Chains A and B, each alone.
Chain A
Amino acid sequence: MKRLSRRHVLAAGSIGATAALAGTAACSDPGADGADAGELDPSADVTISIGDQPTEDKPDQRAAFDERIGEFEAAYDNITVEPSTEMWEAQTFQAKLAGGTLPTVMGVSLTYSYELIENGQLPDMTPYLEELDLVADLNPLALDNVKDADGSIYSIPTGLFSVGIAYNRAIFEQAGLDPDTPPATWDDVRAFAKQIKENVPDVTPYAQLTTNNTGGWMLTTMTYSNGGRVQDDAGAEAVMGQETIDALQVLHDMRWTDDTMGREFLYDQEALRQAFAGGTIGMALQAPDCYFTVVKDYGFDPASYGQGQLPQGGAGNNGTLTGGTLKLFDAKATANQLLAAARWVKFYDFEKYYDEAVALADAESAAADNSPVGLPGLPPVSQDVYDRYLTWIEPHINVPLEQFAGYTASTLQLIAEPPAATQQTYAALDPVVQQILTDEGADIAQAVADANTAVQAIIDQAAR
């Protein structure tokens, strides 16, 4: 056989290279076809991707979700749905959003609403919601969070919540506390925690979220409970004052004077809920959706779960923080995709509130795979519609509602999250909470003053 010479190799290589270049040129995208939204044609074939599919480790939920997709595709045979386990995560969301790798629609924290609208990262959904006759059905209070100044609607708010306090009823009983009486004030929280510490060994009487922006989220909540604010209503100024100092003082005293906060001070939402489900936490600030996670995902005994309204400071009755999920639609999707995606949201999140048969089927299948049915929360629809829905599903409700009585009876004012650069504001407040819990000599007033400076810089940078 003839030996390969250098020239042969070079020739072969250059031919291969030229072919490869030509191939690349042929494959390159002749122009993104998603950029142009196109004409709306409700019956045209369309493929959408949807996020928030439950992951493999939650087989029941995943099967139920997939079943709903099957029903949806059967009802609208021009729509093909590609589910994705993509879900909102504060630590990666911005990069994925910028990278354009998110599905056509998925749920993200309502905190991003103003920022996303202002940055042009949400499409104007008004025509599609009108086409689907969905606008009148939505909770008008929540809808205000996803509108711009002209009244255009950019998203669909769902999964609304207000923060309260979750507590372990078994620990309360062991400590000699009445499990039907959650703490109503921060003084109660302190006293209850002390009583737990005296009577129940090896548990953390009161735990606080501190990392991945949850520290700032809960400091904001505590500030609200004392009647204060973190930003002014316009989101132009950082206004933390005595109310925030008082909130931190309570934490400081529970940590250093009473020693009722355990030894772990780097909790994020997941870690705290795991510890709560493990039965080692007496009380923690949580919205009622905590029940779903600890019971369904971590096997916590439902009989031990108690939920009260947010403990109040000062003169009381100051309010609580409310938030939720917004459906993030892909700003680069076509008109037909956006309509189909909105249709999916209507089908998956709203139909049960208006159709008794759907409500019953949904509740039955959820109850069959031991998912909580009838979990208290703020409805994404108007209160009347929601009440009617609750009467429909009543026979299937499996959540011990009497253990939520302290929460559901609440008449606290619902206060929205800080409007400007919300997650960044929370991120800037994480270290403040951590400092109070890990440094006994921390100067609280100074820490709050510094936090105001930091948040102000974030507001200014965001408005730049």
Chain B
Amino acid sequence: MAPTPDAARAAQRRPRPRLDLTRWVRGGGLHAVLFAVPVVLVYLYFSWGPVVQGLVLSFQKTNLILPAEWVGWGNFEYVLADPGLLQASLNTAYFALLALVFGFPIPIILAVLINELRKYDALYNALAYLPAVVPPVAAILLWKFFYDPDAQGLFNSALGWIGLGPFPWLNAEDSAMPSIVLYATWAGAGSTAIIYIAALATVRTELYEAAEIDGAGIWRRIWHITLPQLRNVIFVMMLLQLIGTFQIFTEPYLFTGGGPNNATQTVLLKIYNYAFVNGDFGAATALSVLLALFLGLLSVVYYFVTKRWSTA
């Protein structure tokens, strides 16, 4: 990291001080260390403690009551040999893909549209953000009613008026995951849109004015000014969304419990089931470690790929 200007100036002004304990203490060094110790300890214990503990658990067989037993790579072998892992991974990737293709552009469009409004934009802001305010558990229960597979269900009734359906929604293997993506897009669009709206406020208005003078229409303005100016935010949001979608849990857990026939079984749901239903904490942490490694790798690859794009 480059030194801050202040630090650089200070370094120029003074010769490099000799190591002098009294001066260090009187200069506040001891206090500074004491000041930091609790924070560092708390951070180590509560933030890194569980991470390390998780790593340790992934090599053990334990029910947390009897003494733990080291099993080497046994847990990893077990989870990798689990016939359900492939499907759970594919389901997770499928969800990530659907969410990326359908869910990702919507907040951007929403943000641009709200940004174009001259009046009442605060109202639309609030309306767009509203789904994010509804607690997920309550929202999912509501959506379960919407997704009622009977012809009298809310969505099915509405679609019935234009001669469509009734659709089974969550009750068929083909439509269960898309139904969950539809909900997740509804639930997530608002809070993402808010971030884009904030980013849009930083786009310099002269650019638009210049483009307008050059005769650019709204679509050209969006394509040539708005999106390039939002590029860095979009890349970050995409990475966050990717990491988020690979950790999808609440929606399949509450909507379908992973069904029907494992069609919405995800990697995180599998981890949950290992730990909380089977009581197999070793297998759960082993799969968690694998997922963390995968996400770390994904982030690194993503960083280097988008770094090239954003400087281009």
Contacts and interface: CB of A to CB of B under 8 A. Distances in A.
Given A120-B65, A427-B277, A461 B78 contact: yes
A91 B274 CA distance: 11
Contacts of A450: 83
Given A266-B257, A435-B260, A461 B280 contact: yes
Interface in A8-56: 10-11, 13-15, 17-18, 20-21
Contact of A263 (B82, B150, B280): B150
Interface of B: 28, 30-35, 37-38, 41, 61, 63-66, 71, 74, 78, 81-84, 148-150, 152, 166, 168, 170-173, 256-262, 265, 273, 275-281, 283
A303 interface: no
Contacts of B30: 14
B276 A119 contact: no
Contacts of A272: none
A92 B276 contact: yes
Contact of B63 (A20, A92, A119): A119
Interface of A: 6-7, 10-11, 13-15, 17-18, 20-21, 90-95, 97-100, 119-121, 202, 210-213, 262-266, 268, 331, 421, 423-424, 427, 430-432, 434-435, 437-439, 442, 450, 453-454, 457-458, 461, 464
A277 B283 CA distance: 40
Contacts of A438: 168, 171-173, 260-261
Interface centre among B35, B66, B74, B265 (most CB of A within 10 A): B35
A435 B261 contact: yes
B38 A21 contact: yes
A217 to B, nearest CB: 13
Given A98-B63, A119-B65, A263 B171 contact: yes
Secondary structure class of chain A's binding surface, majority of residues: helix
Contacts of B256: 211, 266
A457 B274 CA distance: 13
Contact of A266 (B33, B74, B82, B170): B170
Contact of A11 (B31, B64, B168, B171): B31
A252 B81 CA distance: 30
A98 B171 contact: no
Contacts of B82: 457
A17 B38 contact: yes
B276 A464 contact: no
A423 B171 contact: no
B38 A95 contact: no
B221 to A, nearest CB: 47
A458 B78 CA distance: 10
B277 A265 contact: no
Contacts of B172: 438
Given A266-B256, A266-B259, A424 B277 contact: yes
B35 A211 contact: no
A29 to B, nearest CB: 15
Contact of A431 (B34, B150, B262): B262
A121 B259 contact: no
Interface centre among A6, A100, A121, A434 (most CB of B within 10 A): A434
Contacts of A92: 276
A450 B83 CA distance: 9
Given A434-B259, A464-B61, A263 B149 contact: yes
Contacts of B28: 6-7, 10-11
Contacts of B81: 457
A90 B277 contact: yes
Given A119-B65, A265-B171, A439-B261, A424 B38 contact: no
Nearest to B259: A434
Contacts of B74: 464
A97 B278 CA distance: 12
B261 A454 contact: no
A95 B276 contact: yes
A14 B31 contact: yes
A431 B64 contact: no
A397 B117 CA distance: 70
Given A119-B65, A435-B260, 18 more contacts: A10-B32, A14-B30, A17-B37, A90-B277, A92-B276, A93-B276, A94-B276, A94-B277, A120-B66, A210-B259, A211-B259, A266-B257, A268-B257, A430-B257, A431-B258, A432-B261, A457-B82, A461-B280
B37 A21 contact: yes
Nearest to B38: A17
Contacts of A263: 149-150, 166, 168, 171
B277 A213 contact: yes
Contact of A98 (B34, B65, B149): B65
A410 B280 CA distance: 39
B31 A91 contact: no
A100 to B, nearest CB: 8
Interface centre among B33, B257, B273 (most CB of A within 10 A): B257
Nearest to B167: A263
A266 B277 CA distance: 18
A430 B277 CA distance: 13
A7 to B, nearest CB: 5
A167 B273 CA distance: 33
Contacts of A439: 173, 260-261
Given A94-B277, A98-B279, A264 B171 contact: yes
Top 9 A-B pairs ranked by shortest CB distance? A14-B34, A94-B279, A435-B261, A10-B31, A263-B149, A98-B64, A434-B260, A13-B35, A438-B260
Contacts of A461: 78, 280, 283
Contacts of B170: 266
Contacts of B71: 464
B261 A98 contact: no
5 contacts: A121-B65, A265-B260, A454-B83, A457-B82, A464-B61
B171 A266 contact: yes
Contacts of B152: 202
A435 B63 CA distance: 32
A421 B152 CA distance: 40
B35 A94 contact: no
A331 B277 contact: no
Nearest to A436: B261
A263 B155 CA distance: 14
Contacts of B261: 431-432, 434-435, 438-439, 442
A219 to B, nearest CB: 13
Nearest to A435: B261
Given A10-B32, A21-B38, A464-B74, A98 B281 contact: yes
B261 to A, nearest CB: 4
Contacts of B34: 13-15, 17-18
Contact of B35 (A14, A423, A457): A14
A21 B42 CA distance: 10
A150 B31 CA distance: 63
Contacts of A91: 276-277
